[in-house]
Structure 1
Amino acid sequence: MVVESKKVKLTIDGKEIEVPQGTTVYHAAKSLGIDLPIFCYHDRMPPFGACRVCLVEVDNFPKLQTSCTLEAKDGMNVKTSSKIAQEGRESILEFLLINHPLDCPICDKGGECPLQDQTLKFGPGISRFFEEKRKLAKKLPLGPVLMLDRERCIACARCTRFGDIVSGDHALEFVQRGYKTEIGTPGGGPAESKYIGNTIMICPVGALTSQVYRFRARPWDNDSVASTCTLCPVGCSLKLDSRDGEILRTRSHEDPLLNDIWLCDKGWFGYEHVDSADRLKTPLIRVDGSLKEASWTEALDYIADRLKNEKRAAAFGGNALTFEESYLFQQIFRSLGIPHIDHRIGMPEFSLNDEGLFGGMEEPPASLSKLSFALILGCDITEEFPVLWLRLKSALNQGAEAYFFGHFAPEVRPYFKETHLLTPGDEEASIAKVLALAEQLLNKGGQGAILVGSQYLNSPSRKNVLEELIRFRMKSKNLALHLLDACEGSLGAREAGMHPETGPFNQPLDNPGLSAKAVLQKGASEGWGFLWVAGSNPAAKYSRRVWKKFRENLGTLVCQDLFLTETAQEADVVLPVLSFAEKTGSFISISGKVQKLNPGKEIPEGIYSDEMIFHEIGRRLGVHLPGSAEMSVSGVAPSLHRIPKRKAESFDRREERQSSILKSENSSGMIRATFSRPLFDQGVRMKKNPHLSRSAKEPFLRLHPDEAKPRGFSDGDKIRVSTPAGSIVGKLKLDSQVAKGTLVLPIGFEELPVSELESGFINGFTVDLEKE
């Protein structure tokens, strides 16, 4: 039975209206088409009433009221256009403008500034203020991407409240008091946030601006195109703004199912590499040991001639490819009878039998906002899936509870009700406790979810862990199971058939091929004929020893990429390709939603898309391929709007909480390694973003203090980490939020090449530690 919410009836400017109980006067007026100015209010945060600009007159109230905080009541008579209400709003705007500088001609917010618009519509026609305006910092960088102009700030508190309420990182705060109140950071240093771009978006004036976009263009000069962010697995909707053939900024594009109106800072600022001067501009062919410029005809003929009769060939795809490009890539090789196809370059490799169930979310990210509880198993959520944290934080704001089990506690641990730390290798043993807790929470009612991250999914016991979770999921109502694999385009590549054991849409193959790692091993020992790399960088993803031996015994290496990567530097043929902002295609989000890529700028002259390259090679080899990206999608799956769900039966101010830290015993004294995946690393695309790349922190080896003391280690020591395969040296950071018996290795940093340990990026391998 549907229970209707209670209604209240009130009058606004002589018009009677009935609204649900709890509605504010501001929203009631808005539903009647009455426009009221707002600055501090934002519909993704509770009302605050700081700016006072939405004043209205209400009968029997002694003074004007802020409509954004005033709840509508039965019989209330509201006047928004009375003389006293208009004068009140006009006065507030006049006060705000007293010290606000007349920067409109040079302000980045010009043309899309609420203060401009509201002043024009509701403000005074002239200023009565003749004294000198106060002078404050005009160009104050608060980190690598954020610029603060304190003179323009109107103290609306949107930016500080975003950090308090939406992201929970408290990156910005008010400092000083009264007339001297201004925006700063908690420690006085750079703003520490993965979401600072959102504060620029919601700032109603030009106080917070982007260092990347600063003084680049006016909004009306930009061409705007809706597209998709491909820099993490979530696949957020965004807009690309370009001018004169250059991407000048990206903006969030509201998507109710995925990212709502938010982006992480990779989405906001991770586009500078698109117009980098270091991009490849012409094909290259190795002649007499050096790469020389060549024509497209020469390069494509070279590739086709060496591939057409070569059976010891392999295709290494990458997460930079669209779904359609991955499909075409694997189709070329399968048409030639070559099964050695893989996209898991530098990623954990599980056989189909050991994999259990491939990653993805059972429900869209929006469902996380409505949870009553969440069990997070080994997912460093703000680093690996930052926008999912914003969804989950929304649920926590409404009383939901979160519990964490994993090798090290995420930075958002204070928001978890309990944090259980376990040594790598104990994932399967922890499942009984996880499921007992889940059953207890389900018995209380409400909707729950289990979010399984890389610390569990990349465990040697992955299959057994998933079997237990799936069995529990099948018998439980109101529970979703989300498998969060931390690689940006891996779901699309897998569904397209870039896998040695499955074809498109996970159809098992009668004659499976070798995985990427197996190709390297076999080639190193027995030799290999041909390797085509598209959208990945295996030379930097595998150990130098393995790659060097393989390359010495490899006949032909083809690489297509945006930049001259480590792999491209060793290739026989290098092909320049289009970036995500210059091509069409599909990106499969972590929830299975098919997101579209659209070109946001003019295509650079002389550069082909990956799709065009595959078509040209296919034509030369006599391989029939679908005629376009759109045709390839419809040809593979005519009704494709969302990747079909895999059924479980087929292996389908900050308030410190009292967290329960349950540390596992480590009686053996051995140290087992696990991996972290920082959002800001030193990957190729990150390095080519001059501003955002400065967000990458120094990489550390993290170890619990109790493990360091008996070994004589101190914070900051240089430590050698060794396995039978190799060793690396890094700086030690002692961290009590790491489980005892655990060493945390960060992925994605040149100075700490964890691939040298040759673990296959599977957690739980034993390492030896010694001070350098």
Structure 2
Amino acid sequence: MIRLTIDGQEVTVPEGTMIVDAAARLGIDVPVYCYHQALGPLGACRMCLVQVEKMPKLVTGCTTAVTEGMVVHTQGEAVEKGRKGVLEFLLINHPLDCPVCDKGGECYLQDYTFEYGPGRGRFQEPKIQKVKNGPINDLVLIDQERCVLCQRCVRFMGEYVGEPHLLLEGRGVETVVTTVEHQPATSQFTGNVIDLCPVGALLSAPYYHKGRPWNIERHSTICPHCPVGCSSLATTRESHIIRMEGRPVPDRDWGWLCDRGRFGYDFGYHPERITDSWVQQKTTSAAQATRDVAEWMQRTLTQYGSGSIGFVLGGHFTAEEAHLLRRFAHDVAHTDHIAMVRDVKGYLPLSLNGTFEDVAQADAVIFVGVDPYEAVPVVHLKLRDRLHHFPQLQVMGVGPRRLTRETMPGQDYLIDAEDEAIFFAKALASRLPNDSRVQALIASIQDYSLPVSDADLEVFGQKLLDAQHLTLLWDGENSDMATVLSVLADVRENPTAVLPTFGPVNWRGYEQAGIDPQYAAVEDLLTKVRNGDIHMLVLWGADLLREFPDRKLAQQALEKADYVVSAQVVPPLDMPYIDALLPVATWGEVEGTYVNMEGRLSIGAAGVQPPGQARPTRSYVVNWARLFRQEWQDDAWDVFDNAEGDVLIRADAAVASEITLTRPATKPADGVWTVIQGAWVVENGLPSEILEPRETEFVGRISPDDAARLQIGAEGGYVQAQTSEGSVLIAVRPDPAIMEHTLWIPRGSRHDWAQHLEGVLTLMRPEEVPSV
């Protein structure tokens, strides 16, 4: 530790700390433009000049490391003169257009000029003109005249993200920030440069001229689009969310967002948003729809008794809303049939759940079926940060496609999706052949062959055991992995952490509210509906035909139920089977708690009012209880009661009582294509007009060799898929991560054809399909 004095105050900081960071510990603000802790020192802007005793000249506080006994002055005549000179040079060619700049009132150049700058400029020459409001891409604008060349944006994209889509071009006063070859930046992290830019040079295109600091409100919230649940700030004006920003959390989170989270906020007022109540395909008032549904519930209970109503919840509601629905189901509707829609079969016990701190400490990371860049993008950035600080990080991918990539290099083990658990089990058995837990694990699959060598299994098994801090990201596709992960954590001597990348978004919050989050729960409920044991089905935000993997069971349940009630934000695929459609409030319109993939609790604020007839969940259940002649009393339940700070309390991990693996089904015959699915946040759930330019019809992916045989170009094309249900035209593009004779589609895709790919699959050119 180093002890030094700054402005007369002593402070002790770790060796290698920069002066600006040491000053910040004392609450002393040293102005900076180019410096950011996540990016490291650069010294490009010279704004952070400070005086260090025994040094002949001013030094930059962002590039000067502290030394023992150092005495620093962040104020004084010399420092003020130096900063004033820097600002005068920065303003020579600046357009001084603060009254029309979106950054006005939120701009460091503006603030520092008032605090440290000259009262007026001395230069009378014409200012150099550059590009104003030019596009970085469809979502980000650049005003090159306002840029101070701090290089934060260039360094973030190139060094931190690993996608160098921005660069400095030109020389001297003609130097500008622009895109590589003047082509639109395609990274899904470009929106972060808006927050990073300390001036008004990089701006949000959707927010452009939509609001100013004095006529907006900001609310702390979370991003609802994937299980990461990023800390965010929502900007609201006139009952609309008009901007999302990252919200840094000191010592934990830099506040990065992916572009889906930053710009996908407009689903609340999307043209497809359901704002009217529908009963029997006719619009009606919210009050009448509420009464009709209550009458159906009472009729069902009178005719069939307790347990004749089933509730299936979607994943975008708060933990408090889930608790309210569970209480209503039990106390008023007299049923315990309440479950949560699931799109994968896996479940991870809370005892094995890791946190993002495990990512920051990991020396080995394994992607089990998931590409974090696509499924949980900000976790990819956290891994990049770990790789930057720990270049020895071992990255491995296990699944039916390549899961590592250029920005996260590593080794891939390519196996079938249902073989992941077997691969781990056999790898452990290769190194621990006499361990009773491992023997029980492989008892039923010892003779099962995998497309990897024994040597690869041994190497992988050794890495599993040797890692000092092992972190796994799991997509939940192979349910047997939970058993394997339990045994793995038990046989390892060092920390083992698993981060579930599957949804729905708030499933941990629902679990805390008393709702069984396992796939078997919703499968059992739908089976009871199909068999006639449950006669009324209430879908609270759940879209079964899009989200539930067993489409046939979902359809049979929807057809069998006497009444199907659906509370939704946008029209579901279930629409043909729905008797009552209720508009419901969603994220940004209801305050409550969300629990993310690391088990961390966050509060989502209610920044705007629900549109039209849309109402919060609480409004519906309270009114139904009143129509049932029951008083609704609030209880003392609080999701934070089971948390230490803001993280759920973990019980000690325990090995499953039954250690056995399911033997996979027979492999497809030669020439038959395999369909695999994966999470892709761009295709996730709720629609967004803002993100439409980023969306593509060609969401299916096949290998480049298959694409060449099918005459599909790099931009994508159409092929005919022959399934057990018939023929369907699908849109695909080549992807080097996909294996031959494999079709990858995003899970829960909004494209209708993606819902019809069950059964045997062959792909061919459309013109080769015989006419029927």
Shorter-chain TM-score bucket reads: 0.7 to 0.9
Change (3 A) 1:614 1:694: farther
Q: CA deviation at 1:212?
A: 1.9
Give the corresponding residue for 1:307: 297
Change (3 A) 1:284 1:466: closer
Rounded Cα–Cα distance in structure 1 between residues aligned with 2:41 and 2:562: 66
**Unpaired segments ≥5 residues, structure 2:** 429-457, 658-666, 767-772
Give the corresponding residue for 2:590: 583
Deviation track 1:389-409 (CA, whole Å, cap 9, x = no partner) reads 222221111113322222223
Query: For 1:257-296, what aligned pairs fall within 5 Å after superposition?
Result: 259-276=253-270, 278-286=272-280, 290-296=281-287
The AA in structure 2 aligned to 1:478 is P
For residue 40 of structure 1, the aligned residue among 31, 34, 54 is 34
Give the corresponding residue for 2:454: none
Contact 1:714–1:732 (CA<8 Å) still a contact in 2? no
- Note if 1:491 corresponds to 2:508: yes
Change (3 A) 1:103 1:590: same
Change (3 A) 1:537 1:70: same
Rounded Cα–Cα distance in structure 2 between residues aligned with 1:694 and 1:680: 11
Rounded Cα–Cα distance in structure 1 between residues aligned with 2:388 and 2:167: 19
Give the corresponding residue for 2:567: 560
Rounded Cα–Cα distance in structure 2 between residues aligned with 1:515 and 1:276: 34
Rounded Cα–Cα distance in structure 1 between residues aligned with 2:228 and 2:746: 21
The secondary structure found in structure 1 opposite 2:87 is helix
Give the corresponding residue for 1:103: 97
Q: CA deviation at 1:70?
A: 1.1
More displaced, 604-613 or 121-130? 604-613
Rounded Cα–Cα distance in structure 2 between residues aligned with 1:726 and 1:734: 24
- Note if 1:719 corresponds to 2:736: no
Change (3 A) 1:52 1:294: same
- Note if 1:364 corresponds to 2:384: no
For residue 54 of structure 1, the aligned residue among 26, 34, 48 is 48
Deviation track 1:653-698 (CA, whole Å, cap 9, x = no partner) reads xxxxxxxxxxxx9995543221132211274x22xx3212332233
Rounded Cα–Cα distance in structure 1 between residues aligned with 2:245 and 2:717: 42
Deviation track 1:364-401 (CA, whole Å, cap 9, x = no partner) reads 22331222221222211022112222222211111133
Give the corresponding residue for 1:128: 122
Rounded Cα–Cα distance in structure 2 between residues aligned with 1:136 and 1:300: 59
Contact 2:698–2:717 (CA<8 Å) still a contact in 1? no
- Note if 1:645 corresponds to 2:650: yes
For residue 681 of structure 2, the aligned residue among 661, 664, 679 is 679
The AA in structure 2 aligned to 1:458 is E
Deviation track 1:426-484 (CA, whole Å, cap 9, x = no partner) reads 323421576555664577664221222x2xx313xx32x33233212112222223333
Q: CA deviation at 1:229?
A: 2.3
Give the corresponding residue for 1:246: 240
Give the corresponding residue for 1:164: 158
Rounded Cα–Cα distance in structure 1 between residues aligned with 2:525 and 2:146: 54
Give the corresponding residue for 2:660: none
For residue 320 of structure 2, the aligned residue among 308, 321, 324 is 324
Give me the CA root mean square deviation.
Answer: 3.6
Q: CA deviation at 1:111?
A: 0.8
Rounded Cα–Cα distance in structure 2 between residues aligned with 1:342 and 1:32: 51
Change (3 A) 1:226 1:682: closer
Query: For 1:411-560, what aligned pairs fall within 5 Å after superposition?
Result: 412-431=405-424, 440-441=462-463, 446-452=468-474, 454=475, 457-459=476-478, 462-463=479-480, 465-476=481-492, 477-499=494-516, 515=524, 518=527, 522=530, 529-541=535-547, 553-560=560-567
The AA in structure 1 aligned to 2:323 is Y
Rounded Cα–Cα distance in structure 1 between residues aligned with 2:424 and 2:631: 48
- Note if 1:735 corresponds to 2:735: yes
The AA in structure 2 aligned to 1:515 is D
Rounded Cα–Cα distance in structure 2 between residues aligned with 1:467 and 1:73: 52
Q: CA deviation at 1:514?
A: 5.1
Deviation track 1:114-142 (CA, whole Å, cap 9, x = no partner) reads 11111111111110111111212212122
Give the corresponding residue for 2:339: 342
Change (3 A) 1:81 1:551: closer
Query: For 1:602-621, what aligned pairs fall within 5 Å after superposition?
Result: 602=609, 604=611, 606-621=613-628
The AA in structure 1 aligned to 2:312 is F
More displaced, 129-138 or 306-315? 306-315
Rounded Cα–Cα distance in structure 2 between residues aligned with 1:726 and 1:342: 32
Rounded Cα–Cα distance in structure 2 between residues aligned with 1:647 and 1:483: 18
Rounded Cα–Cα distance in structure 1 between residues aligned with 2:6 and 2:646: 44
The AA in structure 1 aligned to 2:245 is R
Q: CA deviation at 1:23?
A: 2.0
Contact 2:403–2:412 (CA<8 Å) still a contact in 1? no
Give the corresponding residue for 2:435: none
Deviation track 1:265-323 (CA, whole Å, cap 9, x = no partner) reads 2332222222345543343323xxx4122241x22221122122424543221012222
The AA in structure 2 aligned to 1:343 is M
Give the corresponding residue for 1:690: 689
The AA in structure 2 aligned to 1:451 is L
Q: CA deviation at 1:717?
A: 5.0
Rounded Cα–Cα distance in structure 2 between residues aligned with 1:199 and 1:171: 12
Contact 1:319–1:487 (CA<8 Å) still a contact in 2? yes
Give the corresponding residue for 1:600: 607
The secondary structure found in structure 1 opposite 2:282 is strand
Rounded Cα–Cα distance in structure 1 between residues aligned with 2:501 and 2:368: 10
The AA in structure 2 aligned to 1:365 is F
Deviation track 1:476-529 (CA, whole Å, cap 9, x = no partner) reads 222223333243223333443444989xxxxx9xxx785365367x27xx7974
Rounded Cα–Cα distance in structure 2 between residues aligned with 1:751 and 1:276: 17
The AA in structure 2 aligned to 1:144 is D
TM-score calculated relative to the size of structure 1:
0.83
Change (3 A) 1:727 1:473: farther
More displaced, 413-422 or 357-366? 357-366
The AA in structure 2 aligned to 1:121 is E
Query: For 1:12-51, what aligned pairs fall within 5 Å after superposition?
Result: 12=6, 19-31=13-25, 34-51=28-45
Rounded Cα–Cα distance in structure 2 between residues aligned with 1:610 and 1:214: 34
The secondary structure found in structure 1 opposite 2:191 is helix
Q: CA deviation at 1:225?
A: 2.3
Contact 2:169–2:175 (CA<8 Å) still a contact in 1? yes
Contact 1:532–1:558 (CA<8 Å) still a contact in 2? yes
Rounded Cα–Cα distance in structure 2 between residues aligned with 1:728 and 1:644: 48
- Give the total of aligned pairs: 716
Query: For 1:194-273, what aligned pairs fall within 5 Å after superposition?
Result: 194-255=188-249, 259-273=253-267
Contact 2:227–2:597 (CA<8 Å) still a contact in 1? yes
Rounded Cα–Cα distance in structure 2 between residues aligned with 1:198 and 1:717: 32
Rounded Cα–Cα distance in structure 1 between residues aligned with 2:68 and 2:522: 71
Rounded Cα–Cα distance in structure 2 between residues aligned with 1:57 and 1:301: 73
Change (3 A) 1:717 1:382: closer
Rounded Cα–Cα distance in structure 2 between residues aligned with 1:390 and 1:622: 53
More displaced, 587-596 or 306-315? 306-315
Change (3 A) 1:634 1:201: closer
Give the corresponding residue for 1:401: 394
Change (3 A) 1:284 1:751: closer
Rounded Cα–Cα distance in structure 1 between residues aligned with 2:630 and 2:73: 72
Give the corresponding residue for 2:764: 770
Q: CA deviation at 1:711?
A: 7.4
The secondary structure found in structure 2 opposite 1:473 is helix
TM-score calculated relative to the size of structure 2:
0.83
Rounded Cα–Cα distance in structure 2 between residues aligned with 1:48 and 1:440: 41
Rounded Cα–Cα distance in structure 2 between residues aligned with 1:102 and 1:277: 38
Rounded Cα–Cα distance in structure 1 between residues aligned with 2:503 and 2:634: 32
Rounded Cα–Cα distance in structure 2 between residues aligned with 1:80 and 1:532: 63
For residue 579 of structure 2, the aligned residue among 567, 572, 576 is 572
Contact 1:330–1:498 (CA<8 Å) still a contact in 2? yes
